[in-house]
Amino acid sequence: MQNNLLEHINSPKELRNLTIEQLPQLAKELRDFIINVIATKEGHLGASLGVTELTIALHYVFNTPIDQLIWDVGHQAYGHKILTDRKNVFNTNRQLGGISGFPKRSESIYDTFGVGHSSTSISAALGMAIASQLKDEDKHHIAVIGDASIASGMAFEGLNHAGVTNANLLVILNDNAIGIDPSVGALKQYLTNVKKGTQKQDNIFEALNFNYSGPIDGHDIVVIIKELERLKTIKGPKFLHVITTKGKGLKQAEENQVKYHAPGKFDAKTGDLIIKSNLSQPPKYQDVFGHTIVELAKNNKNIVGITPAMPTGSSLKFMMDAFPDRAFDVGIAEQHAVTLAAGMATQGLIPFCNVYSTFLQRAYDQVIHDVALQNLPVIFCLDRAGLVGEDGATHHGVFDLAYLRCIPNLIIFAPRNEIELRNIMYTAQLGIEAPIAIRYPRGRGVTIDWKQPFETIEIGKGVQLKSGKDIAILSLGSISKNITKAIDNTTVTHFDLRFLKPLDEDLLHTIFNSYNHIITVEDGTVKGGFGSAITEFSAKHNYKNNIDILGIPDTFIEHGTIDQLQKQIGLDVESLVLKINKE
């Protein structure tokens, strides 16, 4: 029986003591290690399994961390973490107080750049390579990027610049034809033709002045090492095209790559998912969006749906199946998605642009310049708003209220439950004649019987949820469920403002004239968000009420379950009870 190689490897230095002949065994052990941990702890599985041989080869050939390795997005970096002195803590991956699910500079010297959003690796690696030139340092700089990420505009910007430098940069394309959902677009077809040998046009990467090699088998570790050793001797920008299979080594992950991108818990031996019963549970907000847009689109032929590479995660997939000519996955291209929606709106279509809150940050100028400035009625549906849990600081959607509130013409609405999400979608497609952002959280809501007849929502009107005589709590969005539990059996009054913009000033005047003590609660940042809007209203009208603002503190929130993180920052039910009882 062969010795367990991985057991004795905690760093690339130890890895390099192995012979090339031992590396296939190490690859199998590394895959098994990842599968066994993720089966119970959960995380991003398929991408890391797909680059196991590539990960080993990179650390074997290059002198990391002196040679700098940047993983785009970071979904695929589990093997990298295990081989770089984090094997013994890998079981804490994505857990409160544990290691991050993504490369993170403060966590390890081997994590040369913090990632989480896609398509940043080429620009970052080029920046490092130019810095090395200026400092007269002899280093290699390697960016590993997937075929979905390289289709993003930022990746092309990095390639375009790199091609006119003599920087010591190696871009490795991890081509598995899938991101979270299957890759889309003309570049995908080009790469498919390259793999098949049917591409007739000039090589696009050679045209950008890269020394191109490949495609090579990303699971033949001997071939990879040989090619990496050759590329080490070549000056200037280089490009290696590597073909991999996402989920390699776990049959179900190879056959169902979308589901096994981040599958939740599964049986490590069989690969079968451990599925919890969804009977008698409220739906996920994303599914309420997905089913509702299909329902609306049946009666309104002008409705179109757009998502940047998240059709499954956003549930726009339902519309893509029902109305394939009216629903568009544009790939990892948030800027394009927003301006595409703007263009459609000028022609009388009703675009629902569905994007995760954290990813809309990548299209901020387009929201301002192309949509709001022209007052175009684009309907932004911002999924994963607020805290998202284990993906941590790069993915929490906590900044949207603050960064959207300052934009003229833009309506901002946060439904407190699934019925309100349905009704605001219905209201928006009737014709508001202004852009609107609808932000809702990750996960399940609170209403089992959510599919009620549509009702219109009056723009800019809040509601009173509970009457009382002492403190007035003002909330926005789904965080109201925690407040409802916290103030049960109290004389506290609860208002749901619903709209951050326009604020219900008539209701606010009534509140400020009736209650001396006001508490605002939001799952957005306390700097610049809902609470700030309320204090601005108070100052404008010279009210002297005592106002407390509860929300996301002025720091980046790390990873953990949503319940753990809410407790950490004082937004869970127990913390709210303590806060209210103190007043």
What are the residue numbers of the active site?
246, 334, 362
3-state secondary structure 528-552: CCHHHHHHHHHHHCCCCCEEEEEEE
Q: How far is CA 213 from CA 59, 151, 239, in A?
A: 20, 19, 6
Rounded Cα–Cα distance for residues 526 and 92 (Å)? 30
DSSP bridge pairs for 493? 472
Rounded Cα–Cα distance for residues 358 and 354 (Å)? 12
Among 309, 332, 308, 312, smallest CA distance to 321 is for 312
One-letter amino acid at 561 equals T
**Within a 10 A sphere around the Cβ of 222, how many other Cβ atoms?**
14
Q: Which residue spans within 421-568 are E strands per DSSP?
A: 436-441, 463-466, 472-475, 493-496, 499-501, 517-525, 546-552
- Tokens 């009882």 belong to 581
Rounded Cα–Cα distance for residues 513 and 245 (Å)? 64
Do β-strands 493-496 and 499-501 pair in parallel, antiparallel, or remain unpaired?
unpaired
Q: Which residue spans within 251-410 are E strands per DSSP?
A: 303-307, 327-329, 350-356, 379-385
Helical (H) or strand (E) element with 243: strand 238-243
Enumerate residues 6+ apart whose C-beta is below 8 A from 282.
418, 444, 445, 446, 447, 448, 450
DSSP H helical ranges for 244-373:
251-255, 285-299, 311-314, 317-322, 334-346, 357-360, 364-366
Chain centroid to Cα 32, Å, comes to 27
**Within a 10 A sphere around the Cβ of 573, how many other Cβ atoms?**
18
With both helix axes pointing from N to C terminus, report the angle between 285-299 and 418-429 in degrees, rounded to the nearest 10: 30
DSSP bridge pairs for 175? 243
Helix (H, G, I), strand (E, B) or coil at 72: coil
DSSP H helical ranges for 439-496:
480-486
Residue 438 backbone zone (phi > 0: left; psi -120 to 50: alpha; other: beta): beta
Side-by-side strand order, sheet with 472-475: 463-466, 493-496, 472-475, 517-525, 546-552
Among 497, 487, 335, smallest CA distance to 414 is for 497
Q: Taking a C-beta distance cutoff of 8 angstroms, is the pair 471, 576 a contact? A: no
φ, ψ for residue 317, nearest 5 deg: -55, -30
Enumerate residues 6+ apart whose C-beta is below 8 A from 298.
322
Tokens of 290: 């997905």
- Tokens 């979904």 belong to 75
